[in-house]
Amino acid sequence: MKIGGIDHVVLLVSNLARMTEFYSTVLGCRVKHRQDDIGLVHLQAGNALIDLVDRAGTLGVQSPGAAGPGRNLDHICLRVEAFNAETVRAELAAHGVESDPPAERYGFDGHAQTIYLRDVEGNGIELRG
């Protein structure tokens, strides 16, 4: 088996509209597909998807993680094209989003500069050059 990258990451969310707005407006992910009948929004993040599942929706109540507010995900790492740490941090700040100072960290393509932040429900996000 050879893994070629992230296909999708699923986040259980309490406020689907607010989370969709954050990922689309602040991070530039576009809504690729919706399944409103089960409370699911698929957001395109480059060549991968971030699926937002409403905890109170049909799909969310079936999830093992739906019973409690705990997080089952430490963070997701998103590759950013033409990454410039200060430009990215300024854009985040313009949206009222705090971020950690850039640091060099190891990832799929080796060492690169990254920034950590949290979305509106406290999920960790790493933005990577």
Q: What confidence tens digit (pLDDT) does each residue in 76-120 have? A: 888 888 889 999 999 999 999 999 999 998 787 788 899 999 999
Cβ atoms within 10 Å, residue 44: 17
Residue 118: domain span: 8-128
End-to-end, the C-alpha distance of the chain in Å comes to 27
Residue 47 forms part of a structural domain: yes
User: What CATH number does residue 13 fall under?
Assistant: 3.10.180.10
**Which pLDDT score, from 0 to 100, does residue 60 have?**
82
- The order of strands in the sheet holding 124-128 is 75-79, 124-128, 110-118, 103-107
Residue 106 has a pLDDT of: 77
Give me the number of domains the chain comprises: 1
Q: For residue 17, is it within any domain?
A: yes
What is the radius of gyration, based on Cα positions, of the chain?
Answer: 15
Mean pLDDT in residue range 13-29? 95
| pLDDT digit string, tens, across residues 37-76 | 999 999 999 989 999 989 888 888 877 665 556 656 768 8
Q: Is 124 a member of any domain? A: yes
Residue 86 lies in a domain: yes
Contact indicator for 129, 114 with CB cutoff of 8 Å: yes
Contacts of 117 (CB under 8 A, 6+ apart): 92, 97, 98, 99, 100, 124, 125, 127
Residue 55 lies in a domain: yes
**Could you tell me if residue 33 is inside a domain?**
yes
Tell me whether residue 3 is in a domain: no
pLDDT score of 68: 59
Q: What is the pLDDT at residue 84?
A: 94
Residue 19 in any domain: the answer is yes
| Global pTM value | 0.76
